[in-house]
Amino acid sequence: MNISPLQRLRYDYQPKLPAILREDIKTILPVVGEETSPAHDKEALKALFPHTYGLPSVHFAKGENKIIGARRNVGVILSGGQAPGGHNVISGLFDAMKAANPENELYGFRGGPRGILNDSYTLITEEFLAPFRNTGGFDIIGSGRDKLETAEQFEVCAKVCKKHEVSALVIIGGDDSNTNAAVLAEYFKDKGHGIQVIGCPKTIDGDLKNESIEISFGFDTATKTYSELIGNIERDANSAKKYWHFIKLMGRSASHIALECALETQPNICLISEEVEANKQSLTSIVNDIALTVAARAEDKNNFGVVLIPEGLVEFIPEIKYLIEEINNLLAKDIVAFSACNDSSERIAFVSERLSQASCNVFTILPKDIKKQLLMDRDPHGNVQVSRIETDKLLASMVAAQLQKMKSEGTYTGTFSTMTHFFGYEGRCAFPTNFDADYCYSLGYNAFMLIGGNLTGYISSVTNLSQPAKEWKAGGIPITMMMNLEQRHGSMKPVIKKALVELDGAPFKYFVAHRDKWARETCFVYPGAVQYFGPAEVCDQTTRTLALEQAK
């Protein structure tokens, strides 16, 4: 196999572990802490999870562990979208298993949850694993978006596990996947199947976080990858001095990626969806604000700049959010008639005639291409596919129109040319940073420590992450602790609550304190490429978000 020199060197990288996990694995004991409970819907969740609700938090300490050396077969599943470091979670899990008992076997179920449903697996060996250590991607066993959520599926899982004598499953995924892990753990416990379930927190979006999950893996690598690209564009903009770059960044439900990239690169404008929603800001208001910044910089002869836009912004703009809800409901009800329309013009007219007056007014001002994108095929939940809406082009087009109006009124005298970009897939399978390589390896190693403690329904937790790896704290928390009830498919369902950008949090406050200066002046920062070799302050640094959150 042809590999790059960097890839060859990364194979030899030995990820760093928290100090406690560097001990002989048979001298590490799980220590229970206080009982836990969710922040909301306590009684309802207690009724839904009678066996796994209110379990104590767990940390590890030195002591003789007499049960961790028992022979075990473990299954692992990669679930949902890719995130840098997934291979190292599996590497850490594998190494811990073999340290506990060389006869332990790891079954990698292929293609996500469907792998266990179809009994499709790869037996992971040291030889098989070696080319994947410290690399990006999920190609070791593949991933998928199927869900494990019905009793019939759970019974298939149990049957497949028992066939291979698998006594524990590790599910590596985001909020939905770990919700499914919690439900599966409860089911196995209730039915007496004797199969443990442990989760690992993955998502580059950064919206799976709390006090015990300080960051989801992949976020560090993805944001550093995007920040390098943004810095490159900023340097080009500052060199050519003729373009405004509108850059859409991945992150549907939360603006963590956009905020982190703004903290890393100091663009002229960064929109934060949560702030837009809190201020009930309209699309017209957003466009006007951007246009005023463009005009102010034009007064200084700076007819260039950079705007960062969260992928999910449109769903946070009140009138657009309501418009999308109306369209979703309309298409669900009249899909046959809508499908009979011959072309996009007919489809747009069909929808326009059936919208409320308020939504029709909003729909009318949108460019035709955006209207077409709003009417594209829905996702499996019946919702618009936000990633396919070119918000970058929408804002660039509308700002151009507003500036033309301002020019006719004599309030703008600059020139305005735009370039648009979407950074998403570029970051999902990047070579993991040293931080993500270490963190993910620790999560996987830690997941087996939870298995070795005969725990189930827990998520692997490694904290104190702004400090050097040796000072990280390893343990686990019950997944039910992170859950609440939300409306899904017409009924209330238990789900892990998404963590949005906190407008009273230190990262956002820092951004607010500096953004006016960044808007008018050219304060660009050029992070450069991710570094793997050199001083720790360059190679092992964590995100600006985490550093601000944990500033001592």
DSSP 164-200: TTEEEEEEEE-HHHHHHHHHHHHHHHHHT---EEEEE
**Measured CA distances, 195 to 123, 278, 447 (Å):** 19, 44, 14
DSSP 6-74: HHHHHHT------GGGGS-GGGEEEEEEEE---SS-HHHHHHH-TTTTTPEEEEEEES--SSTTS--EE
Whether the Cβ atoms of residue 180 and residue 147 lie closer than 8 Å to each other: yes
What angle separates helix 357-365 from helix 344-354, to the nearest 10 degrees?
150
Pick from 481, 446, 439: nearest CA to 215: 439
Task: Considering the candidates 95, 146, 176, 205, report the single residue annotated as catalytic.
Answer: 205
- Phi, psi of 122, rounded to the nearest 5 degrees: -125, 130
Give the H or E element holding residue 224: helix 219-240
**β-strand 418-423 against 244-249: which pairing, if any?**
parallel
- The number of helices, as runs of H, and strands, as runs of E, in the chain is 22, 15
205 catalytic? Reply is: yes
Catalytic sites, residue numbers: 205
